[in-house]
Amino acid sequence: MPLAIAFDNSYARLPPRFYERVRPEPAPSPGLLVLNTTLAAELGLDPEALASPEGVAALSGAAVPEGADPIALAYAGHQFGHFVPALGDGRALLLGELIARDGRRLDLQLKGSGRTAFSRRGDGKAAVGPVLREYLISEAMAAFGIPTTRSLAAVATGETVLRERPLPGAVLTRVATSHVRVGTFQYFAHRSDVDGVRRLADYVIERLYPDISGSDAPYAALFESVVQRQARLIALWLSVGFIHGVMNTDNMAISGETIDYGPCAFLDAYEPNLALSSIDRQGRYAYGRQPQIAQWNLARLGECLLPLLSDDRDKAVEIVVERLSGFAGKFESAYFGRFLEKLGIAQERSGDRELVTELLSLMQVGKADFTLTFRRLANLTDPDADTEAFLSLFGGNAGLEPWLTNWRARLATGGRSPAESAAAMRAINPAVIPRNHQVEKALDAIIDGSDGAPYVRLLQAVTRPFEDRPEDADLALPPRPEDRVMATFCGT
Ligand code: AMP
Ligand code: MG
């Protein structure tokens, strides 16, 4: 019996030009790789049913579950600054939407389920490496408390896909509060389809920003809200050393969730200019450029909304420029708020921001490991603590003692005991992140050695990132020079 899911497909009720109906290409021999039982329960889905042959068939695209109305969404996008008028779901389809236990409407998407009307020259498939990579990193981001699409399952298709070499194929089941992107607005705006832009904006307001539906200027409020969520999202990315790697406008979700994990990476040593993606040779999407790029992408969104904002073009431009110029302040307040929390400071006071920027400068000069610097700093809230393990991260760089003195003096005025500060810091500064070299190692073990144990171990560790577990101590360490990953690949 095919799996039945209580789908309610609001996007499929939009006009037909928003999507193309599509059937998944049946996987010849589906096999479950990973299932997110916790997430399944949140979605009101029975993990046992999902793991059954019928469930796995549905998760691989071999069988369409009852109630599904699979569609591939139309969108456009600026890729590395160049506009492409028609991208769309080329290797993904929206199975349908379901209402989670907490009342949220969520998309269930299959990624890697075969060709669609938007596949262009692609095969519509995904290789097991990128699928398991997205699963792991998106679940780690969720565990960090960062808005993100989620991963419900990864299923092997039993098929070989041709990339640089033949690789096992897989399908990811992705969950999102919506897959509408900046590029979705661009798709309609580029076609001068103002009605399409308006319907999309109305849809997004109702689904993602219901608070503003009563506003007398809903489209300006929508733009401002998207700016706000993106500013916060990028601040959160930076707070864990995350580099998205492909911040094209089609990879920026209107919901403010992180989406489309391709060649993303995490900082080991703090280096704001780091860009690891093999397709980002110019460093357009380097770690420290992400706020600027987000603002650039938001400007593209603002352009799409112009006809909705005012009949007077100058007035509309003024609204966009005004809201867009608010990005920097919103970003900085989220960024410093978060970094101060990382330092154990709950309430910002004047002069606090220098504590952050000074530490980051010292980290950059000393090539200090980003994650461990903050994690180990939590051990130093007590003035008598041994600083050696912390200072060793900076390669003997002098100049930290004055910073530590200032920081401790500031902590002492915050109303928390050293132990309370330490606990607060350990709750926000992860001990374990999906380090690039560990991710590659775990994926290589599966692909080349058919050994899933390192992946399972890493997944468990990064989804409980704030615990110090002695048995996972090796996963918390930066790479040795010879293990360092010099480039990441999207593998599409
Ligand atoms: P992404 O790398 O996810 O940002 O994808 C950019 C665009 O390329 C999207 O429109 C994808 O649907 C499309 N695409 C990526 N890989 C494939 C593939 N293997 N087959 C078809 N389309 C693809
Ligand atoms: Mg994409």
> What is the rounded CA–CA span in Å between residue 154 and residue 142?
17
> Ligand 2 centre and the CA of 63: distance in Å?
25
Residue closest via CA to ligand 1's atom 14 equals 90
Q: What distances in angstroms separate CA 31 from CA 43, 91, 202, 285, one per listed residue?
A: 22, 19, 40, 35
Tokens 């999102």 -> residue:
176
Listing DSSP states for 121-185 in one string gives TS-SBEEHHHHHHHHHHHHHHHHHT--B-EEEEEEEEEEEEESSSEEEEEEEEEEES---BHHHH
pLDDT score, position 272:
97
Task: Copy the structure tokens of residue 200.
Answer: 């999309």
Task: Find out whether 177 and 255 touch, Cβ atoms under 8 Å.
Answer: yes
Looking at the predicted structure, is the pLDDT value of residue 4 above 90?
no
Q: What angle do CA 87, 89, 91 make, to 5 degrees?
A: 115
Provide the residues around ligand 2 (an ion) whose CB is within 5 A. Answer: 251, 260
Confidence of residue 397 (pLDDT cuts 50, 70, 90): low
Of ligand 1's listed atoms, the one at least distance from the Cα of 262 is: 2
> Ligand 2 centre and the CA of 252: distance in Å?
8
> What is the rounded CA–CA span in Å between residue 62 and residue 16?
25
Residue closest via CA to ligand 1's atom 6 equals 87
- Whole-number mean pLDDT of the chain? 96
Q: Which ligand sits nearest to residue 490's alpha carbon?
A: 1
Ligand 1 pocket check: which of 91, 137, 157, 182 to mutate, most ligand atoms within 8 Å of Cβ? 91
Residue closest via CA to ligand 1's atom 7 equals 87
Bridge-based pairing of strands 265-266 and 82-84 is: unpaired
Q: What is the pLDDT of residues 143-152, one digit of tens each?
A: 999 999 999 9
Q: What angle do CA 248, 259, 33 make, to 5 degrees?
A: 130
Of ligand 1's listed atoms, the one at least distance from the Cα of 125 is: 19
In the predicted model, what is the mean pLDDT of residues 226-239?
Answer: 98
> What is the rounded CA–CA span in Å between residue 464 and residue 426?
12
Task: Find out whether 27 and 158 touch, Cβ atoms under 8 Å.
Answer: yes
Q: Note if 193 is an active site residue.
A: no
> Ligand 1 centre and the CA of 126: distance in Å?
9
Pocket of ligand 1 (CB under 6 A): 87-91, 118-119, 122-125, 246, 250-251, 260, 262, 490, 492
**H or E element, residue 108:** strand 105-111
Q: Which ligand sits nearest to residue 492's alpha carbon?
A: 1
Overall pTM > 0.95: yes
In the predicted model, what is the mean pLDDT of residues 6-27?
Answer: 97
pLDDT score, position 173:
98
Task: Copy the structure tokens of residue 478.
Answer: 């930066």
What are the contacts of 314-320 at 24+ separation with CB within 8 A? 319/220, 319/223, 320/223
Which residue from 263, 229, 266 is spatially nearest to 247, judged by alpha carbons? 263
Of ligand 1's listed atoms, the one at least distance from the Cα of 88 is: 10
Residue closest via CA to ligand 1's atom 23 equals 90
Looking at the predicted structure, is the pLDDT value of residue 398 above 90?
no
| Helices vs strands, H then E, count in the chain | 16, 12
Of ligand 1's listed atoms, the one at least distance from the Cα of 161 is: 19
Q: Helix or strand or coil: residue 198?
A: helix
Residue closest via CA to ligand 1's atom 15 equals 492
Confidence of residue 3 (pLDDT cuts 50, 70, 90): confident
> What is the rounded CA–CA span in Å between residue 192 and residue 173?
33
Task: Find out whether 286 and 274 touch, Cβ atoms under 8 Å.
Answer: yes
Confidence of residue 399 (pLDDT cuts 50, 70, 90): confident
Helix segments in 14-147, DSSP class H: 37-42, 47-51, 53-60, 128-144
pLDDT score, position 1:
67
pLDDT score, position 469:
97
Of ligand 1's listed atoms, the one at least distance from the Cα of 124 is: 20
Amino acid found at 215? S
* Cross-strand partners of 66: 4
Catalytic residue of the set 107, 123, 250, 280: 250
Q: What distances in angstroms separate CA 74 from CA 141, 171, 305, 382, one per listed residue?
A: 27, 20, 18, 55
Q: What is the pLDDT of residues 88-135, one digit of tens each?
A: 999 999 999 999 999 999 999 999 999 999 999 999 999 999 999 999
- Cβ neighbour number for residue 311 with a 10 Å cutoff: 7
